[in-house]
Amino acid sequence: MRILIVDDSPDQQALLRAILSKAGHQDLVSADGAASAAKVLNFDGDSIPEHIDLILMDVLMPGQDGVETCRQIKRCAHLQDIPVIMVTAKSDLSNLQDAFAAGAMDFISKPVSSIELLARVSSALLLKQEMDRRKNRELELRRSNEELQKALKEVKVLRGLIPICASCKKVRNDGGFWQQLEEYLGEHSEAEFSHGLCQPCIKKLYPGVYQD
């Protein structure tokens, strides 16, 4: 799963990369601030965003800080489900309330502990996997429902007034021609027919054969 590290400090980026890589997280992307993160995540919708499963976001950065960047991420429909973990110095803990209000799910204090980082990253990625599975199930159900609705629309159903001869029981079709009833029903429904003789017809066609 792909992790985006957003931090203006190259040393901090390198540290996070080293800890994560050593633990087996090889798919890592870095951004040195809000502007470069916006390009990776495609805030403007003018290109295809990279697939990101987790964001590690520094709180204090030049220009737009991490809290506002998190808020901007959560305003984007295609990014709302990505967990954001704030990385903050202990002196910045007062910003955490704003970070959680902006949509962050967790935080890690600097200096970063490898045990704490990996535990919180593992928890966040498990959450993302479950969210992805749920979304895929919902998508499959939606597709199945759409296919069912399409199939139901294609089912032939007889409606309205059907002209039928009172004598021979033929049906007049849309072209004005008279058809046998079973032929007409076969063209306008999914019904299949088997032929036999009812008791009154047997008496009429084979008098003396049918025993009352």
Is 166 a residue whose pLDDT tops 70? yes
**134 and 154, same domain (yes or no):** no
Whether this prediction's pTM lies above 0.85 is answered by no
Count the Cβ atoms, other than its own, within 10 Å of residue 161: 5
Q: Beta-strand (E) ranges in 14-83? A: 28-31, 54-58
pLDDT tens, position by position, 33-67:
999 999 999 887 656 667 899 999 999 899 899 99
Contact between 105 and 84 (Cβ < 8 Å): yes
* pLDDT cut 70: percent of the chain above it: 90
pLDDT tens, position by position, 83-108:
999 998 866 677 788 899 999 999 99
**137 and 163, same domain (yes or no):** no
The parent domain of residue 177 ranges over 150-212
**29 and 118, same domain (yes or no):** yes
Is 157 a residue whose pLDDT tops 70? no
pLDDT the model gives residue 180: 86
CATH number at residue 63: 3.40.50.2300
**Three-state DSSP class for 176?**
coil
Quick check: bond before 111 cis, omega within 30? yes
Q: Considering only CA atoms, which of 53, 56, 52 is closest in space to residue 16?
A: 56
**138 and 154, same domain (yes or no):** no
**105 and 197, same domain (yes or no):** no
**88 and 26, same domain (yes or no):** yes
Residue 57: strand pairing partners:
6, 86
**110 and 49, same domain (yes or no):** yes
**96 and 32, same domain (yes or no):** yes
Choose the final residue of a domain: 123, 142, 161. Answer: 142
Number of domains in the chain: 2
